[in-house]
Structure 1
Amino acid sequence: MYVAVSSPGAGRVELVELDAELVETARFEVARAGLAAWAAERERGRPRWVWADTARWYPALLAGGVRIDRSVDLRLGRAILRNASATVATALARSPRDRWDASRSPDTAPSEALFELDEPQPDDDPVEELRRQRTAIAESTAPGRLALLTAADSVGALVAVEMQHAGLPWDPVRHDRILTELLGARTPGARPARMEALVARIRSALDDAEVNPDSPPALLKSLQRAGLRVRSTSRWELKGVDHPVVEPLLAYKKLARLYTANGWAWLDEWVHDGRFRPVYVPAGVVTGRWASDGGGALQLPQQVRGAVVPDPGWKLVVADAAQLEPRVLAAMSGDAAMARAGRAHDLYQGMVDAGAVETRSQAKYGMLGAIYGGTTGESGRMRPRIERAFPRAMAYVEAAARAGEGGEVVSTWLGRTSPPGRDAAYDETRSEEERARARTDSRAWGRFTRNFVVQGTAAEWALCWMGSLRRMLWDLGGADSSELALADRPHLVFFLHDELIVHAPQALAEQVAEALRASAADAGRILFGDAPVEFPVTVAIVDSYADAK
C-alpha cells in the first residue's frame, strides 16, 4: 500500500491511499497538526509514504513520535530518472522541465507571521508523479537497478532526517576545553591568544606590522615584497619555501581553520541540549554522495572529535569501511585478481601479498592513482604495475575516462548518470587554440568520469549499508522495545561517506557492532549479488569519537 502526502493549501494535508497497482482506494484530508496521529495509525500497515521531499514532511512526524519504515522521495527520484542514460527514451526524460525538477519543493507550513499575505500554492499531484516515475522505470533499459537506486535514495533521505532529529551527542564543555588548549582563551572581538601570538611572529618575519594573515591578497603581496616567489598563499605552495615566515604562517592557518569552522561561534550556533544537529543533503553531489547545508557535518576535524561523547550508560559504535572504492571497483569490473587481494582485511596489503607491488604504500598510491587518474609521482610510477596485475579493473576505469573525454556520459552500477561532457576537441569548426584548450578540458572531464563510476557506486553501497543497518537497529531490543522511540533505541547519529556512528545503550553495543558488520556484507550482496568481493568494516566501541581511530 502507498500513502501519497501533499498540501492543498495552508494548514491542510491531503492523503491518498493507493494499492500496489497505484489504484486509488481512499482519500482523506486532515489538519497539518493532526498528521502525526493519522500517520501513526496508518504506519501499522507499513505503507510506502509518497511525498515530494522527505526533509519537508518527515521531521514533523518524528517530532510527533512517528518513525516510518518506508517512503518514496519523488524529488530525488525525478533527479535520477530525468538524467539517467537508461531512461532517455521514456516520456519522463523527454518531457519539459517542471516544478518536480526543482531541488526542493516550497514549504507550505504556516510561517510565524501574524498574517499570511499570500495563500501558499498547492502542491503538484504526487500520485501523478509516482505513476510517471514508475512508468519510466518500467520502460527503462535497467528497471531493476533504477528501482533499487530510487529506493536507496529514499531510504537515505529518511536516515538523514532521523540523524538530524536524534543529533550527534556533543559535550560543549569538552569542546570549549579543546578550543582553549589549542587556540588560547576565548577573547570576544579579538583573536584567541595563541593565534594572536602567531600573527606577531608572521608580521615580524615579513617585516610588515600591518599584514593581515586572514586576507589572502594582502598576505600574498606581503610575501612577495619579502622576496618569496609564490603565486598563492596555499599551504601546499608554502611548504616548499625556505623562509622564517613559513612555520608560524602554516601553524596559524591550521588554527584559523579550526577557529572559523568549528570554533566558539560554531559551537554556539550548532550545539544545543548536548546535540549537534547538522543539515544533511542526500545526493547533494552529482555522484550521489551527500552534502551538508549547515554545520559542516561532513568535515568534522580530528581536533574536535573528543567532544563527541555518548550519554551516560550509552556507547558510540563507530564503523569504517576498509578501502571501499577499490573493493567497489573490483566488484563492478569482475576483476578476480583484485577480489582475491581484497579477501585480506587490508586490501593494499593483499596486493603486496599477491606480488603486484612491493609495499603497502605503493599499492595505496597506485590504486588511488588508477581510480582518480593520477599520472605523476608515486601514483604514476605504480600505475603500469597496477594495470598488469588487475587488467579488468583498470580497463573499466579507462573506458569510463575515454567516454568522458569523448563527450559521452557514464553511469554508476545502479544507473545514476554523469552530466554530459564536452567534445569541443573534436569540433573541426574551431580554431586550433580552441581545440587545444578543449583537449585539456576533455582530459580533465575524463578524470571526472573515471572517478564518477567508482565514487558514485561507492555512494550506492553506503546507502544500502545504511538502509540495511537502519532496519537491524530498529529490531534490536526484542519485543519489550516495541514502544521505544527512535532516540531510545540504538540509532544512527553520523555518516561520512564510508563511516557510520551509532549511539547505542551499553548493553547492546556488541550487538550493534555485529549489525554494522552484517549490514556491510548485506550491502555487497544487494548491489553485486554473489560477486566474490568482501566488504569488511573496522568497528570500535568507544566513549569518545576521538578514540575510534
Structure 2
Amino acid sequence: MDERTGERDHVVVVRRTADGHALAHGDGVEEVAAGALAAAVARLEAQGPRWAWDTADVYPALLEAGVRVARAWDLRLGRALLRRAAGTRGTIAALPADGWDELAPVDDGALPLDLGSDLDPVAEHARQAAEIAASERPGALRLLLTAESAGALAAAEMRFAGLPWRRAEHERLLASLLGPRVPADRRPASLERLADAVRIALGAPALNPDSPIELARALRSAGIEVASTRAAELRTIDHPAVGPLLEYKKLARLHAANGWAWLDTWVRDDRFHPEYLVGGVVTGRWAARGGGALQLPKQIRSAVSADDGWRLVVADAAQLEPRVLAGLAHDRAMADAGRGRDLYAGIVASGAVATRQSAKVGMLGALYGATGGEGGRLVPRLAQRFPRALALVEQAAREGERGGTVSTLLGRSTPPVSDRQRALDRDAAVFDADERVLQRARSVARDRGRFTRNFVVQGTAAEWALCWLADLRGRLWELGEGRVEERPHLVYFLHDEVIVHTPAAMADRVAEAVTASAESAGRLLFGDFPIDFPLDVAVVDRYDEAG
C-alpha cells in the first residue's frame, strides 16, 4: 500500500539465485542472469514498483551501474522492526532466530549464497506484509517501514557519492595542529611537546599521558585528587598541568580519530565514503561502522568542501526533540512557545523559567529524567506550564520502571526487559526483607525508566528525520538530470542535520526543498496539529562556514 495515495503497491521481490537473480512480481518470476540485474531493474523501475530486498546487498551495485530506484521495502530492516513492534500479533517475534536476523551490511555488496532457505525473500515479504496488515495500527507501521527503507536507499547513495573531502586541506590542518607526519608508532611533534609540558608540571618524567592509570597516579602524586582523568573533571582543577593536558587530550583525539591513518583509510579521490548503519541505534537513530561518520570534529570541517561550480546546503532542525514531544503529547502550550521562534526563548516568554539556558537545562532534564541538580529543580516548573508534554514522558518512565514496553509514534518498540531486571524483580518479590536486593531492583528499574522516557521522544524524532530525508531525497531527484551524483544529492545525515551537494545554480532551489521537506515530514507525522520544525539553512562552500 502506498502511504500517500492509498493505492496498492506494485512490489518486485529480488532474490539471489545460483546463476544471478530472480525478480518476483505480479506477472510471475523473471530470471535474470548474472550481470544483467541493473538493466532489468532500470526497465521495471519505469513502472514505479517498490523493490523488496536487502538494500545493503543489492543497491550498491545498481548505483555503480547508474541505476537509481525510488522506493523499497528493506526486508532486513523490516524483520528487525517487526521482531519488537508492539501491537502486532507476534508471529515474527515468535519465530526462532534465522538468517534474516543475522544479516548485516557487507563491505563488498555481496552475500554468500549458502545462508539457508529461510532467506527466501518472497516468503519473508509475505510474512512481513501479513504481520503489518494484522497489526493494531497497520498504517503507522507501514509508514515506519517505508521511511526506514527510504533511509536505507539514501544511506547507500550517500556512501556511493561520498562526502566531498579535500585531502590536501585535511593534511594542511593536521600539519598545523599536530606537526609533520610521523610513523604510526610515534607521537606527532605537537603532542610530544605537550606531553613534556605535562610531565614537567607533574614532576613525572616517565609519564605516558595516554595511560589513564599512569596519569591518575601522577596527578595524585602532585597532590591533585581526581576520581577520573576525564576532561570535564580536569577543567575544575587549578594546576599548571591542566592546560597542556587538556590540549593534549584534544589533539590526541584528533590524531586517533581523524589523523593520517583515518585519511588513508576513508578518503579516496577527495571523497569520504561513510558506512552508515540505518536503524543501528535502538531508538532508530543511525550508527556508523568505522570511519566516525557521525562525529566530524570542527577542527577538520574545512576539509569538507564543495566541488568547483557546486555548493553545500547545510541544514539542521532547531530543538527537534522538544518539538517532537509537543507534537506527541498534543501540548498546544509548548507548540505555541516554539511557533516561528526559538523554542527555549518561547519557554522563557511563557514565564516557566527566567533564562534560555534554564529552559534548555530544564527540558533536557525532562527528556532524560533528571532528579537532582538544576535540571531536577527546573522540571516541576516546566510541568506546571506544559503538563501534557511532561506527563507523556513521565508515563513512559513509569511504564519502563514496571518492565513494560513503550513505542514511538509510528510503532518502533523498546526491547524486552533484560534477564537481569527479571531476576532482580523476582528476587525483590521473594526476598522483600533484603534491602540490598530491593535497592538493586529499584536502581535497575529507574535506569529502564530513564531509557523509556527518552525512547519515545528520541525514537519519534528519528522517525521525523527519516520522513524528512525520504521526502527530500525525492525532491532532489526531480531538480536535476543524470545519475545520482550528477544531480543535487544528499552527502551527509546526522540525526537532525543534512548536507546536500548541489550545482551552484540550483542551491537556492535546494534550500527551498530542504525546508519544504521538513514541513512535509511534520504534517505526515502530526497532521494538522500546529507544531512547526524550523531549520537553520546555510548555503556554503565549506562545511565549517555553516556555523
Which residue does the alignment assign to 1:514?
512
- Specify the SS of the correspondent of 1:92: coil
Q: Which of the numbers 4, 12, 27 marks the counterpart of 1:3?
A: 12
| Change beyond 3 A, Cα 1:119–1:537 | closer
Residue 12 of structure 1 is matched in structure 2 by 20
Whether contact under 8 Å (1:331, 1:531) holds in the other structure is yes
**Could you tell me which amino acid in structure 2 is paired with residue 3 of structure 1?**
V
Equivalent of 1:135, from 130, 133, 139? 130
Is the alpha carbon distance of 1:325 and 1:95 closer, same or farther for their aligned partners in structure 2, counting shifts above 3 Å?
Answer: same
Note if contact 1:7-1:108 (Cα within 8 Å) is conserved in structure 2. no
Aligned CA-pair RMSD: 1.7
Q: Provide the C-alpha distance between the structure 2 equivalents of 1:333 and 1:303, rounded to a whole number of angstroms.
A: 39
Q: In 1, are the aligned partners of 2:511 and 2:537 still within 8 Å (CA)?
A: yes
Q: Tell me how far 1:30 sits from its aligned partner.
A: 2.0
Q: How many residues align?
A: 529
Q: 5 Å matches for 1:271-310? A: 271-310=267-306
The answer to whether 1:393 aligns with 2:389 is: yes
Q: Which amino acid counterpart does residue 321 of structure 2 have in structure 1?
A: E
Deviations 1:238-266 (A, max 9, x none): 22223222111111001101111011111
CA contact (8 A) 1:344 1:350 kept: no
Shift in Å, 1:109? 6.9
Partner of 2:93: helix, strand, or coil?
helix
Q: Give CA-to-partner distance per residue, 1:327-352, whole Å, 9 cap, x none.
A: 00000001010010110321111111
Q: 1:268 aligned to 255, 264, 267, which one? A: 264
Of residues 310, 313, 320, the one that matches 1:314 is: 310
Q: Deviations along 1:365-418, whole A, 9 cap, x unmatched?
A: 111111111223321221111111100000000000111111111111101001
Q: CA deviation at 1:103?
A: 4.3
Q: Distance in 2 between matches of 1:99 and 1:172?
A: 40
Per-residue CA deviations over 1:433-454 (Å, capped at 9, x if unaligned) read: 1221121111111111111000
The match for 1:185 is 180
Residue 115 of structure 1 is matched in structure 2 by none
Q: For residues 411 and 208 of structure 1, what CA distance do their matches in structure 2 show?
A: 53
- TM-aligned CA deviation for residue 283 of structure 1: 0.1
8 Å contact kept, 1:322–1:345 = no
Q: Equivalents in 1 of 2:179, 2:496: separation in Å?
A: 34
Residues 1:451 and 2:454 are matched in the alignment: yes
Cross-structure match for 2:5: none
Report what 2:77 is aligned to.
76
More displaced, 64-73 or 180-189? 180-189
Residue equivalent to 1:44: 46
SS in 2 for 1:91: coil
* Cα contact 1:287–1:455 (8 A) shared by 2: yes
Letter in 1 for 2:535: V
In 2, are the aligned partners of 1:65 and 1:485 still within 8 Å (CA)?
yes
Identical amino acids, percent of aligned pairs: 55
Q: Determine the structure 2 residue equivalent to 1:21.
A: none
Instruction: State how far apart, in whole Å, the 2-side matches of 1:96 and 1:329 are.
Output: 36
Q: Shift of residue 105 of structure 1?
A: 7.4
2: CA distance between counterparts of 1:253 and 1:439? 37
CA distance in 2, matches of 1:390, 1:283: 31
Give the Cα separation in 2 of the matches to 1:6 and 1:107. Answer: 19
Alignment-derived partner of residue 59 in structure 1: 60
Q: What displacement does 1:119 show?
A: 6.8
Bigger mean CA offset, 435-444 vs 484-493: 435-444
Q: How far off is 1:110 after superposition?
A: 7.0
* Matched position secondary structure for 1:299: coil
5+ residue gaps, structure 1, are 19-24, 112-117
In 2: Cα distance, 1:359 partner to 1:499 partner: 26
Match of residue 93 from structure 2: 93
User: Which of 368, 383, 390 is the aligned partner of 2:364?
Assistant: 368
Q: Does the CA contact (< 8 Å) of 2:13 and 2:52 recur in 1?
A: yes
* Pair 1:433 & 2:452 matched: no
Q: Do the aligned partners of 1:170 and 1:274 also contact (CA within 8 Å) in 2?
A: yes
Distance 1:368 1:547 in 2: 28
Distance 2:378 2:110 in 1: 59
The 5 A counterparts of 1:211-250 are 211-250=207-246
**What corresponds to 1:22 in structure 2?**
none
Matched, 1:475 2:478: yes
What per-residue deviation string (whole Å, max 9, x for no partner) do you get for residues 202-252 of structure 1?
111121111111122222222223332123211122222232221111110
1:527 paired residue number: 525
Higher mean alpha-carbon deviation, 188-197 vs 97-106, is at: 97-106
Q: State whether residues 348 and 354 of structure 2, in contact with CA within 8 Å, keep that contact through their aligned partners in structure 1.
A: yes
SS in 2 for 1:16: strand
Match of residue 29, structure 1, among 31, 34, 39: 31
What is the TM-score when the length of structure 1 is the normalising length? 0.93
Return the alpha-carbon distance in structure 2 between the equivalents of residues 347 and 503 of structure 1.
29
Q: Indicate the SS of the match to 1:433.
A: helix
In structure 1, the residue matched to 2:376 is 380
Larger displacement relative to structure 2 (279-288 or 101-110): 101-110
